Each structure stands twice: as structure tokens, then as C-alpha cells.
Amino acid sequence: MKMLEALPRGDFLALVGMKSPTLDQRVLTGEAAFAFGCQKPAHAGEYLALDAAAMLLSSMLNRLAGLELKAAADEVREHWNGWLTLLTKAERFPKPNHPEQFFAVAWLSLEPRRYRVMLGEAHEIAAELAGESVYTCNFVSIHLLLRLLRNNARRANIALPERLTVADRDPGYENWLREIDAHRERAAARLKAKAKTKGRRPAPAPARKRLVKA
């Protein structure tokens, strides 16, 4: 059974609460993040529920953690494996009986525009920041991300699977990893093909034919 089921563009836009031109603009400017560290979906017009999670997370980092949109998208792509692990935990260990999982951005006081990204539970992040000169740390909840995604799906009448992730103890975990690798390869190939097309010089206009006089 294929685990990474595709959603049409309309469903994806509903899940992230975004208009189509806005999505196109964010992809064009590098302000879009998709699942598994991808800059573009693996197939034109097809998206994953985890793509919506990545896009929502980048928007949350922009609004709640002070990152500019491009920086937020960059961090979501770079740390895709980390936040996917947290999402896997959040699906299996919900609040309030289990600790909340966070994607945190700590701003360092000695260099106002410098920050550190950390992922995990609040006490783990606090321990990692021990000794740092921090003037603020913004915590973005992965549990909240999951709840927003599910709420958007319910409002739009979009059926999502019971779980978006596969844990290492779940049946089919190895197949899940293979599908992720294949998805990343297809997305990278599509991005590379797009870059080659952009780098091409436009073909010269055909020479205008002269009218032959009788």
C-alpha cells in the first residue's frame, strides 16, 4: 500500500489557508517549504498532507517566532527530519497526558539578529540553552500544528488518514522510508529540470520570410 497519498492543489490550499497566487509567489521567492526538505512538490499539482504541515509550520515560525518567511521556510526544509520526528511523537502521545513537542527559535542577546533552532520538549531545549546569552526564546508547538491541520481538514471536508506518519515500530516502516527517499529524488529532479529551463537562452525568433513579388 502506498503511504504517501497525493492531494489535489485545491485541497492543499484549503489545508494551508492560502490562495493560489500566494502559493505561486512563495514558491517563486523561496518562501515555501514542503515535506522532507523539498523546495517543490515531487509532481506538479499534487501535494501531500505533510506538505501542508511543512507550509503551516513555516507560517507559524514567521508569525510566532519572528523569522522572516524565507528564513522560516529554510529552517523547515533544513530540519525536516527533526520536526517530522516530533510530529510522529505528537500523533502517538497527545496532550495533556504527554509532554508537548516544540520547534523553538532562541534569539541571542549579544547578536540581536542571530538565533538558534532547537527541537524537542521544553526541558530539553532549556538544557541545551544553558550558558547561552538568550533574550527571548519562541516555542512553536508541534501539537498545535497538528491540531490546526486537522481543523482545516474538517472545515474543508478533506479526509486525512488517522496518522500522517509511520513510526519505527509500525508495520511498513521500511517501505515508508523508501517512499520518502523516492519522493525526495523526484522533487530534486523536478527542481533541477526547472533550473535548467530557467538557465536556457530563449530561442531566436524565426527569420521573417520575404514576400516574393510576381
Taking the C-alpha atoms of residue 184 and residue 169, their distance in angstroms, rounded to an integer, is 23
Q: Is the pLDDT at 66 greater than 60, yes or no? A: yes
Taking the C-alpha atoms of residue 31 and residue 11, their distance in angstroms, rounded to an integer, is 20
DSSP 131: T
Q: Give the cell for residue 135.
A: 533574550
Q: Is the pLDDT at 114 greater than 70, yes or no? A: yes
Q: Give the cell for residue 33.
A: 517549504
24-54 pLDDT tens trace: 999 999 999 999 999 999 998 999 999 999 9
Taking the C-alpha atoms of residue 103 and residue 76, their distance in angstroms, rounded to an integer, is 9
Q: CA of 70: how far to CAs of 23, 25, 205, 212, in Å?
A: 13, 12, 37, 57
Taking the C-alpha atoms of residue 45 and residue 12, their distance in angstroms, rounded to an integer, is 9
Q: Where are the domains of the chain?
A: 7-97+143-190
Q: Is the pLDDT at 186 greater than 60, yes or no? A: yes
